[in-house]
Amino acid sequence: MTRPRPIRYDVDTWFVMRNDPEIPKAIIERRRDAAGGDVFLVSRWSLDAAERVLMSVQPSLEKADLLVRWDVPASPTPGVPPNGYGA
């Protein structure tokens, strides 16, 4: 599966999509650090802003995007990996 590019919401905000095609997995926000450079804050997405959790601060959008993981699909058989190996 090809990694989707973050969706730009505004000049300083991107939504990161993963497994769900409609609900973002994370939000990335660009801010200025004390030295005047850009930093990218990666937060777990939630409609409720109080439930958003800061996961990381990165020096680039690309590095921030790489930190957002995919959800591993559940195996239909308990104890067997979803790819079938190890059985």
User: pLDDT at position 33, please?
Assistant: 87
- Would you say how long the chain is, in residues? 87
pLDDT in tens, the chain (87 residues): 577 899 999 999 999 999 888 999 999 999 998 898 999 999 999 999 899 999 999 999 999 999 999 887 766 666 666 665 654
Which residues in 6-23 are b (16+ Cβ under 10 Å) and which e?
beeeeeeebebbbeeeee
Instruction: Report which secondary-structure segment, H or E, holds 39.
Output: strand 38-44
